[in-house]
Amino acid sequence: MSTAAARSVVPFRRPERAAEPSRTPQQERQPPQAEVLRLLGQNRFRYLHHNGAPYAVPYDGPPVAVPLRATASTGTGSLRQRLIHAYVTEHNRTPSQSALADAVAALDALAMHAAEVELPLRIAADPNDGVVTWLDLGRPDGESVRLAPGEWALTHPDPEIGPVWRRSRLVRPLPRPDRVAGGWRAGIEEFAELLPFTSETLPLAVGWLLAALRPNIPRPVAYLTGEQGTGKSTSGQMLAGVIEGARAPLRQAPENLRDLGPTTAAGWVLALDNLSGLPGWLSDALCRIVTGDAQVTRALYTDDDVNVLTYQRPVLLTGIDLGALRNDLAERMLPLELSPISRHKRRTAGALWAAYEQAHPRILGALLDLAAGIWAELPYAATHLTERPRLADFAELLHALDRVTGWRSLDAFNATQDALNETVLDGHPVAAALREWATSHAFPHGGWTGTMAELHRLLGSDGRGFADGWPKTPAVLSARIRQVAPALRSRGIHVARTSGSNKHGKTWAVTYIPPS
């Protein structure tokens, strides 16, 4: 690593060891517990802040930050527990609760001026090299994967340079990846034998996993679909588990937005199982999660302070039918169809998971081999890709994936987007009415011009105006048209406000150009 790359991004280096205060012989025999605990925390840890909360990082230990007061439920324990362990081990005594409280309060005060830094969870960009990505294996010793263009290696991040990991109970250990003798193709073939993806959707599933290895980019919402008996829930666990740990849990969709934020921020992949529909608030929230979101809530026991959760996560859903998709979510969806499993290929759950856990190191190694090649191709993709969908970063990644593998994953992704546009148009009453009218003989040659009120009367004249869900006012009709405008344009239907007006108000133009 170059000298420039070795620049520290952490606010503190190890200070001089704090001198213990002079004591009388009696004090030497019975030192104050609070002072001993404070010195342990001051000499063995450095301090920083993440989202306003103080964390401690051991000088002589893995680069994993621990909160000061949280319990073991965080996945790493807390500084308070570390101090208890050190005191019991070295002094063969149990510290009092008051001494612990005093020591932690003093360390919290000492950490008050520590710099605010980002503590990544599972995936991180290298603080000094923008083309390098890190993967936290979730292991006690802090061993991680350093993924660079053309290569990857198992190593321990320098705690002074970073990244410094944050962990929760959802950050499960990953196996140490193996380099497969047959290269990435052998590992991906083993992956394909375990999960019943179709030949068209397997490259997209691999592309989604690769996108999940890149920090700070928008990724599509992977949606496992298929008829009953295709193993959607198990396949979802295995797909997410490649980078989240074997048997990573799929979660039930939360009942409200307040519950969604903490569960999203605590893990890397947000995996929701067995959805039969999407309420509007959840559809909007998923759009924000894949592009980056922040949830601000009032801090407990305060009137003027807040808690802030920031996250941008890969999202995976399973289900049979999501109902009528909103256009903004449809543009971010990646349907992954699963093939029916024949009776002679079906295995018991125990045998399937045993095979998966045995293959997991090779699958992860193959994915890293493939990622290293794709990371090297991304600059070419950024320069030579001429057309990009809404998720432009993902399109560039698929373009690089196709150059490395010879697949046609970008074409397959564009085809899924086209099919989702049809789903949006079919499930949206305003879009369906406009499409039916614009493609009929009643549509004026050269297009139609008039006010939104006139368009409202025209589209609702055949009885639609009395149907449930039909917009009751011209203003609501205008808003509904804006919702599906991209899907309509993809089918040659353009609705836009003109610069003119008549005695009834601003005019709008509707044109239809049949797509080639």
CA atoms within 13 A on the CB side of 146: 16
| pTM of the full structure | 0.84
Burial label, 30 (beta-carbon count in 10 A; 0-12, 13-18, 19+): exposed
Query: In which residue are the tokens 């691999």 written?
Result: 206
Beta-ladder partners of 88: none
Which DSSP string do the residues of 84-126 spell out, in sequence order? HHHHHHHHSSPPPHHHHHHHHHHHHHHGGGPPB----SSEEE-
pLDDT in tens, the chain (516 residues): 444 443 344 444 566 665 655 655 554 566 789 999 999 999 999 999 888 789 999 998 899 999 987 655 556 788 999 999 999 999 998 999 999 999 999 999 988 888 888 899 999 999 889 899 999 999 989 999 999 999 999 999 987 887 999 998 888 899 999 998 889 999 999 999 999 999 899 999 999 999 999 998 999 999 998 888 788 889 999 999 999 987 777 888 888 888 888 888 888 999 999 887 788 889 889 999 998 877 766 555 455 556 667 888 999 999 866 666 777 888 889 999 998 888 888 888 899 999 999 999 999 999 999 999 999 999 999 999 888 888 899 999 999 999 999 999 999 999 988 888 888 787 788 888 898 899 998 899 889 999 999 999 998 877 776 677 788 899 999 998 988 888 888 889 999 988 877 766 789 999 999 876
Query: Is the Cα torsion angle 219, 221, 227, 228 positive or negative in sign?
Result: positive
